[in-house]
Amino acid sequence: MDTETIAAVATAMSSSGISIVRISGDNALTVADKVFRMKGSCKSLYDVKSHTIHYGFLYEGEEILDEVMVSVMRAPKSYTTEDTVEINCHGGVLLTNRVLELVLQNGARLAQPGEFTKRAFLHGRIDLTEAEAVMDLIQSQSSLALRSSLCQLQGSVSSYIKELREKILYEVAFIESALDDPEHISLEGYPDRLSKVLDTVIGKLDELIKNADQGRIMREGIRTVILGKPNAGKSSLLNFLAGEERAIVTDIAGTTRDTVEETIRIGEIGLHVIDTAGIRLTEDVVERIGVEKALRAAESADLILYVMDSSVDFDENDRIILNSIEKKNVVILLNKSDLPPVITKEMLCTAYRLAYPIVVCSIKSKEGLDNLYEILRQEFFHGTVSFENEVYLTNLRHKKAVSEARESLEMVKKSISLAMPEDLYTIDLMSAYSALGRIVGEEVGEDLIDEIFSKFCMGK
């Protein structure tokens, strides 16, 4: 069907020492042969054994471009199951790009994002969760997310979900066989037994759902919104976190009228930070839109960094902010510790009864901000950032499917409590079974395929 030869840089574009350019498809060896000459030999790559690596030079015309190692993996024993050549060249964005260009000039076309994985999946090399994990891998933005993606790749989610599905299927089979053969299989006392099984399975699904947010946080970073009154130092905080002048910082209140986004890493934690307009009651139409937008952003945030200017008194605007962030994860940054304080940490705790963690700091002089990282670890990873043995859903679709399955199992429990006939249980049991099946690709829903295609940039 689709055996065009494709190529792309397989490693992250960075200034690292070695980069890999991967070529896959029917003509992978032909393409590589055109540009690669083995040292001290005139052998073609067609003459070498599969899964071997060779030293030599890349030639652009008669000129040597780079000194490289080339590995050859013949179909079907490669990631894509097609003939695959990987060129290990010297790193650096510029040189790597020239190597890729050279390959493209010699008969390969540039691979679309995820295309290697798509081929692997379509050739039955990997199942859906694994494919999606690979896609997540491509998209993962922090090292923690990377580790979880790898873990999922090894099939831990698959096997966990498969186990739960088996449990459900067993119950369906039991009910069905009792319907077919009432003489030999009795359903007496069965509802109670089923109820217990359901509790166990629902508990496990709950665990998955609970952890799913952590999974998403790992992949996408903590959705962080910076809130505060105008000129409290929000944009300065973003710039500090991002390490560059991103938002316009002035002494004029109300400078940021829209939201500004940035992805940042603090240690091993990824933050997806949104800076917002200062919150205040205002007549200015444009500014008011900014304020509304800020409050909306806060609604869907995992974390709110509430920047307060300690040199300005608590007022109506603070109240608006506090009302809008109730029940959220909030860290208060009591900024401008270098100025004479009007409000203090103690006042916030006692007079205003705020139970949020409070960091007293001066963003301008970069003082007191070390505590922030510690607090984030506490808030989001229960103190320990450990991902070795746990199963996480990093995909929103998976989380939705698990929630659906859970809902269906609750329906079964409801049927049991209403003393409905047993043959009705299987409707919802089967719904739960299919929902979970969609996660591991054992049930092919049309919607899923559509989603995958759009992610794979199909349709061209």
Residue 225: DSSP 8-state: E
Question: C-beta of 151: minimal distance to other proteins in Å?
Answer: 22
Question: Interface residues for other proteins in 407-426 (CB under 8 A)?
Answer: 411, 418-424
Q: Which tokens sit at 121?
A: 């999946």
Q: Is 390 in the site for other proteins (CB under 8 A)?
A: no
Which range in 160-168, 328-336, 341-349, 427-435 contacts other proteins by CB under 8 A? 427-435
Choice from 163, 180, 284, 374 touching other proteins (CB under 8 A): 180
Nearest in space to 257 (alpha carbons), one of 237, 284, 277: 277
- Closest by alpha carbon to 354, among 363, 344, 367, 342? 344
Among 444, 451, 454, 457, binds other proteins (CB under 8 A): 444
Which residue shows structure tokens 């109240």?
A: 319
Q: How far from 423 is each of 167, 191, 211, 430, CA to CA, in Å?
A: 18, 11, 34, 12
Nearest approach in angstroms of CB 433 to other proteins is 11
CA-wise closest residue to 27 among 104, 129, 121: 104
Q: Please state, in angstroms and rounded to a whole number, the distance separating the CA atoms of residues 180 and 194.
A: 19
Cα distance between residue 120 and residue 82, in whole Å: 9
Comparing CB distances to other proteins, the nearer of 135 and 277 is: 135
Residue 4 binds other proteins (CB under 8 A): no
In the complex, minimum distance from the CB of residue 191 to other proteins, in angstroms, rounded to a whole number: 13
d(CA 266, CA 452): 32
32 binds other proteins (CB under 8 A): no
Under the criterion CB under 8 A, does residue 373 sit at the interface with other proteins? no
Binding mask 301-340 for other proteins (x = CB under 8 A): ----------------------------------------
Q: Which residues pair with 330 in a beta bridge?
A: 304
Binds other proteins (CB under 8 A): choice among 177, 195, 378, 386: 177
Would you count residue 458 as binding other proteins (CB under 8 A)? yes
Under 8 Å between Cβ of 398 and 436: no
In the complex, least distance from residue 199 CB atom to other proteins, rounded to whole angstroms: 21
Q: What are phi and psi of 61, to 5 degrees?
A: 65, -125
If one asks whether residue 252 binds other proteins (CB under 8 A), the answer comes out as no
Amino acid at 370: D
Q: Determine the Cα–Cα distance for residues 38 and 53; give it in Å rounded to an integer.
A: 10
Q: Which stretch binds other proteins (CB under 8 A): 57-65, 140-148, 179-187, 208-216?
A: 179-187
Contact 318, 332 (CB under 8 A): no
Nearer to other proteins, 128 or 359 (CB): 128
Residue 176 to residue 170: CA distance in whole angstroms:
10
- Closest to other proteins by CB, 248 vs 427, is 427
CB of 424 to other proteins, least distance (A): 5
Strand stretches in 276-429, DSSP E:
303-309, 330-335, 358-360
- Min dist CB 137 to other proteins, Å, is 20
Q: Is the CB of 75 or the CB of 360 nearer to other proteins? A: 75
3-state DSSP call for residue 338? Answer: coil
Q: How far apart are the first and last CA of the chain?
A: 14
Angle at 173 between CA 171 and CA 175, to 5 degrees: 70
189 near other proteins, judged by CB under 8 A: no
For position 442 contacting other proteins by CB under 8 A, the verdict is yes
Q: Which of 190, 356, 430, 455 binds other proteins (CB under 8 A)?
A: 430
Q: Which is nearer to other proteins, 367 or 423 (CB)?
A: 423
In the list 62, 313, 316, 446, the residue contacting other proteins (rule: CB under 8 A) is: 446
Q: Are 38 and 50 in contact (CB under 8 A)?
A: no
Instruction: Give the x-and-dash track for 113-152 against other proteins (CB under 8 A).
Output: --------xxxx--xx------------------------
**Residues in contact with other proteins by the rule CB under 8 A:** 1, 3, 121-124, 127-128, 176-177, 179-181, 183-184, 411, 418-424, 427-428, 430-431, 434, 441-446, 449, 452-453, 458
